[in-house]
């Protein structure tokens, strides 16, 4: 089994009429866009499903949307843990692909699937304690009860969701991310119809309100996972990797390596998500209006974030390919091309968000929704204050992705702890309560923490690539 050289070195040729340096940068940017676009659209498709669910739930009232926010806080604390470990599949597979070691590509995916199973059993069980957890955190009794009902249906989606992420990472590592996009596009209308039917009782199905929304999400995740494996088995070039070959044999050394790379990624994800999850708790302490407005503004930010997150995944792959080839200059070029692309995109999107900040909340609550004027006004204010936050969030995501391509994950996790908690949370809490800025103060703290994190990550990537650092990959030792 061989890997085509032209796929490994995509972007290595200089277009006619351009200088070598400019041509290489332009080719790298083109290759990054080509890889990132379907990945980003896949991410947008998945957040579209989440947003559709939130919109459908939102028509049940402020209490329902607040409960959905809290339920997602509990779920994604667990989901981010597995997502961080699954994120290690992509750099390991990409480095093996760049080094022309196809068996290692398959093994990287296989250990990711086993890791998802090992993590999924305890994390799924934790979801069914969601109501008790929220009550211990001081949330309103009724809101916690509704959130627990949502989690009864939603909690089963963890393992299939992680498996789809692992398969998607494998597809991206071999330069073919499009099938994950096709699967997601098919899933969007199915999710909307199924969620609507199970929430409100349409098409002969029972009306299960929040429980129905959770059940619909789990069913759709199972279907996407099955479709991903089906494509990997029958479509070129995936089928030559025989992704489930000898699945019953756990590769313990590589599984350990996956956790060495992936555990700090999971730690950084949890530290970042923990900041946002704690923000939801702080908003709940303020009032239900603040919590609902925060969830609307944060969901809008999540939609924007999916594009730089897709670029981040592309950066991991492009840097990983260069590492596999032992191409130090290509490694640096891949990372900075992706960081620049994210910064430009997010700057443009911020202008649109500011222009439509009063319209966006109505998409969640309904144009004619009663008693939601305060929620709409506060959500619009948070979107305006989030302008800088959106840009630095995009930059930090891509810089982190570039560092993952270098297997550099432990130092970024330390940066995350300092930026998000020592600085970000302290700023949010101080501005929200002692200084009485409430919800706006929480969002200003976001911007401060994320901005410092972005600066540290870009500095770290610049330092490592200036030194020509190359992590150890199969058949190679680390170099500096």
User: What per-residue confidence (pLDDT) applies to 366?
Assistant: 62
For residue 256, being part of any structural domain is answered with yes
Q: Give the range among 10-19, 169-178, 198-207, 331-340 with minimum mean pLDDT.
A: 10-19
Confidence of residue 479 (pLDDT cuts 50, 70, 90): low
Is the pLDDT assigned to residue 417 strictly greater than 60?
yes
CA angle 181, 183, 187 (to 5 degrees): 115
Tokens 């800088």, residue located = 388
Instruction: Establish if 1 belongs to a structural domain.
Output: no
- Looking at residue 19, its pLDDT comes to 52
Query: For the residues 140-158, what does the mean pLDDT come to?
Result: 87
Q: Stretch 11-28: mean pLDDT, rounded?
A: 62
Distance separating alpha carbons of residues 87 and 237, to the nearest angstrom: 21
Give the model's confidence band at 296: pLDDT under 50 very low, under 70 low, under 90 confident, else very high: confident
In this predicted structure, what is the pLDDT of residue 103? Answer: 83
**pTM, to two decimals:** 0.81
Average pLDDT estimate for 7-25: 55
For residues 325 and 319, what is the distance between their CA atoms, to the nearest angstrom?
10
Residues 166 and 89: beta-carbon distance below 8 Å: yes
Q: Calculate Rg over the CA atoms of the chain.
A: 22
Q: Tens of pLDDT along 422-451?
A: 999 999 999 989 998 888 898 898 889 999
Tell me whether residue 10 is in a domain: no
Which helix (H) or strand (E) segment holds residue 162: the answer is helix 158-173
Sign for the pseudo-dihedral over CA of 421, 423, 425, 426: positive
Residue of higher predicted confidence among 457 and 281: 457
Please report the pLDDT score of residue 341 as a whole number: 94
pLDDT level of residue 1 (50, 70, 90 thresholds): very low
| Residue with more model confidence, 151 or 248 | 151
Average pLDDT score over residue span 209-222:
91
User: Strand locations in 20-63, DSSP E?
Assistant: none
pLDDT at 268 over 80: yes
Give the highest mean pLDDT range of 249-258, 265-274, 424-433: 424-433
Instruction: Classify residue 240 by its DSSP letter.
Output: G
Average pLDDT of the chain is 85
Peptide bond into 237 cis (omega under 30): yes
Mean pLDDT for the stretch of residues 174-194: 91
Report yes or no on 462 lying in a domain.
yes
Tokens at 82, concatenated: 């597995």
Query: Is residue 8 in some structural domain?
Result: no
Count of domains for the chain: 1
What the block records as the tokens of 285 is: 């302490």
CA distance 428 to 275: 9
Enumerate residues 6+ apart whose C-beta is below 8 A from 93: 104, 105, 108, 109, 169, 170, 173, 174, 320
pLDDT of residue 5: 42
430 burial type by CB count under 10 A (0-12 exposed, 13-18 middle, 19+ buried): middle
Spatial contact of 326 and 468, defined as CB atoms under 8 Å apart: no
- The answer, yes or no, to whether residue 353 has pLDDT greater than 60, is yes
pLDDT greater than 70 at residue 150: yes
Residue range 310-327, pLDDT digits in tens = 899 999 999 999 998 898
Q: Does a structural domain hold residue 264?
A: yes
Structural domain harbouring 255: 22-466
Give the pLDDT score at 473.
63
In a domain, 9, yes or no: no
Is residue 136 one of the residues assigned to a domain? yes
């Amino acid at each position: 089994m061989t890997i085509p050289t032209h796929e490994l070195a995509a972007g290595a040729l200089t277009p006619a009429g351009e200088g070598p340096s400019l041509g290489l940068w332009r080719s790298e940017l083109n290759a990054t866009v080509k890889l990132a676009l379907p990945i980003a659209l896949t991410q947008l498709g998945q957040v579209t499903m989440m947003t559709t669910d939130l919109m459908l739930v939102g028509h049940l009232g402020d209490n329902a949307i607040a409960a959905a926010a809290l339920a997602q806080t509990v779920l994604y604390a667990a989901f981010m843990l597995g997502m961080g470990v699954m994120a290690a599949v992509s750099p390991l597979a990409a480095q093996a692909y760049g080094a022309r070691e196809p068996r290692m590509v398959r093994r990287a995916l296989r250990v990711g699937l086993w890791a998802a199973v090992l993590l999924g059993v305890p994390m799924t069980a934790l979801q069914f304690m969601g109501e008790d957890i929220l009550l211990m955190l001081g949330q309103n009794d009724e809101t916690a009860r509704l959130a627990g009902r949502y989690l009864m249906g939603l909690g089963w989606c963890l393992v299939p969701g992680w498996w789809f992420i692992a398969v998607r990472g494998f597809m991206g590592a071999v330069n073919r991310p499009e099938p994950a996009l096709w699967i997601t596009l098919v899933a969007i209308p199915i999710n909307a119809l199924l969620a609507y039917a199970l929430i409100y009782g349409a098409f002969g199905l029972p009306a299960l309100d929040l429980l129905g929304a959770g059940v619909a999400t789990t069913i759709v995740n199972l279907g996407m996972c099955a479709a991903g494996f089906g494509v990997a088995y029958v479509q070129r070039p995936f089928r030559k990797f025989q992704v489930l070959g000898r699945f019953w044999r756990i590769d313990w050394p590589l599984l350990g390596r996956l956790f060495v790379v992936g555990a700090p990624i999971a730690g950084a994800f949890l530290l970042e998500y923990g900041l946002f999850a704690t923000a939801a708790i702080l908003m709940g302490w303020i009032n239900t209006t603040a919590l609902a407005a925060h969830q609307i503004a944060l969901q809008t930010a999540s939609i924007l974030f999916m594009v730089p997150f897709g670029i981040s995944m592309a950066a991991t792959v492009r840097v990983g390919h260069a590492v596999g080839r032992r191409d130090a200059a290509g490694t640096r070029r891949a990372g900075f091309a992706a960081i620049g692309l994210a910064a430009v995109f997010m700057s443009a999107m911020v202008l649109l968000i500011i222009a439509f900040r009063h319209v966006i909340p109505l998409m969640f609550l309904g144009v004619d929704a009663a008693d939601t004027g305060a929620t709409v006004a506060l959500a619009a204010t948070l979107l305006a204050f989030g302008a800088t936050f959106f840009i630095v969030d995009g930059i930090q995501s891509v810089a982190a992705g570039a560092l993952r391509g270098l297997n550099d994950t432990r130092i970024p996790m330390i940066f995350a702890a300092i930026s998000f908690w020592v600085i970000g949370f302290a700023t949010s809490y101080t501005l929200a309560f002692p200084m009485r800025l409430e919800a706006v103060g929480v969002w200003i703290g976001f911007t401060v923490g994320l901005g410092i994190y972005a600066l540290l990550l870009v500095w770290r990537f610049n330092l490592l690539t200036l030194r020509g650092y190359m992590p150890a990959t199969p058949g190679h030792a680390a170099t500096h």
